[in-house]
Amino acid sequence: MKVGFVYDPIYLKHDTGQHPENAKRLEAIISHLERTGLTQQLTPIRPRAASIEELSLVHDEQYISHIRGVAQKGGGWLNVDTVMSSNSYEAALYAAGGVIRATEAVINGEVDSALALVRPPGHHATYEQAMGFCLFNNVAIATKCALANYKLERILIVDFDVHHGNGTQAAFYDNPHVLYISTHEYPFYPGTGSIEETGSGTAGGTTINIPLPAGSGDTEYLEVFEQIIVPAAIRFKPQLILVSAGYDAHWADELALMQVSVTGFAQMVKIIKGLGDELCDGRLVFSLEGGYNLTALAASVKATFDIVLGNTAIEDRLGQPPRSFKAPSIAPLIKKIKEIHKLV
């Protein structure tokens, strides 16, 4: 089993100062992977800069020029939550290019599957707007490149970041070749992701939103993975699976109110890996999105690599959430989503 990983120090140069999405996130992940000896089990994939043509598959050219211009002027705040430094444009080109390379490497058979440890993250970035710490939509760009360059017809994107990937949803809302499935806390930032958002025109049904109540943990996530994501993926028959892997649903993460453990993330990844093995020769590409508690983030990323590598012992020193929330009842929600998407 050859598992690729994309990383480059350029990603640390997207300097956000005192901001939850900062370079320490990747530093914590990389040092944990090195300390635990995991890096030696992986195949490094060198990222490249995405071209303007590639970015333009998802973004407005004027928007791309605007981001380049802000970097040339030394950076600054693009909106209330997203900030850039002088190197952020280059880092963002390499983040998008990193996920493109990971996807190419998996499709070409250089590796069986891959994880792209990139920043800035991408899933909130829309056609012409930076949002939620994201500049360019890495996963959406890599997906469009795979559709265009390899003549793929069905790509599944699973987004388990705690926030709804509004940018990714919008990029494929009318595209029947991409099934976008998101689990997210709801109601919550960015406000989108209700069960009624299901895709438009011939792409009706190819957006599946699973908006979960605050307090959802391993049990609830695994329930929706098994009851909704698995049958939807089997029905769609993807040729490739991309994952927007955000780890901010961890109970120790301070940006959201979910209760997932490292063990829970490992089980979710195991289900996705099972789908990949069954449906598309194991062709999986994970791309890092959120995750802001450094200990939980590093442990969860390592658990993801372990599962994809086939290592069975998952280390979860943080364990289960210390405070026992009353488990939310999600049975009616699951029933409703199954009805909407005819997954009965």
Minimum distance, C-beta of residue 28 to Zn ion, in the bound complex (Å): 17
Minimum distance, C-beta of residue 163 to Zn ion, in the bound complex (Å): 4
Taking CB under 5 A as the rule, does residue 211 contact Zn ion? no
CA atoms within 13 A on the CB side of 74: 0
Which of 246, 276, 282, 321 binds Zn ion (CB under 5 A)? It is: 246
User: Which ranges in 111-171 belong to alpha helices (H)?
Assistant: 138-150, 166-171
Task: Tell me whether residue 217 or residue 290 sits nearer to Zn ion (CB atom).
Answer: 290
Q: How many residues bind Zn ion (CB under 5 A)?
A: 5
Minimum distance, C-beta of residue 308 to Zn ion, in the bound complex (Å): 21
State the pairing for strand pair 83-85/75-77. antiparallel
Q: DSSP states of 38-89 as a string?
A: -GGGSEEE---PPPHHHHTTTS-HHHHHHHHHHHHTTEEESSSS-EEETTHH
Task: Tell me whether residue 187 or residue 310 sits nearer to Zn ion (CB atom).
Answer: 187
Q: Are 141 and 168 in contact (CB under 8 A)?
A: no
H or E stretch at 285: strand 284-288
C-alpha dihedral (306, 311, 313, 314), degrees to nearest 10: 10
Taking CB under 5 A as the rule, does residue 123 contact Zn ion? no
Taking CB under 5 A as the rule, does residue 161 contact Zn ion? yes
Which of 8, 248, 253, 306 binds Zn ion (CB under 5 A)? It is: 248
Residues with a catalytic annotation lie at 124
Minimum distance, C-beta of residue 66 to Zn ion, in the bound complex (Å): 24
Minimum distance, C-beta of residue 252 to Zn ion, in the bound complex (Å): 14
Taking CB under 5 A as the rule, does residue 21 contact Zn ion? no
Q: Give residue number: closest CB to Zn ion.
A: 290
Taking CB under 5 A as the rule, does residue 167 contact Zn ion? no
Rounded to whole angstroms, the Cα distance separating 330 from 44 reads: 40
Rounded to whole angstroms, the Cα distance separating 263 from 338 reads: 26
For residue 108, give the 3-state DSSP assignment: helix
Taking CB under 5 A as the rule, does residue 193 contact Zn ion? no
CA 29 to chain centre: 16
Footprint of Zn ion on residues 281-300 (CB under 5 A)? 290
Stretch of 161-169, 209-217, 225-233, 308-316 lying at the interface with Zn ion (CB under 5 A) = 161-169
Task: Tell me whether residue 25 or residue 273 sits nearer to Zn ion (CB atom).
Answer: 25
Q: Which residues bind Zn ion (CB under 5 A)?
A: 161, 163, 246, 248, 290
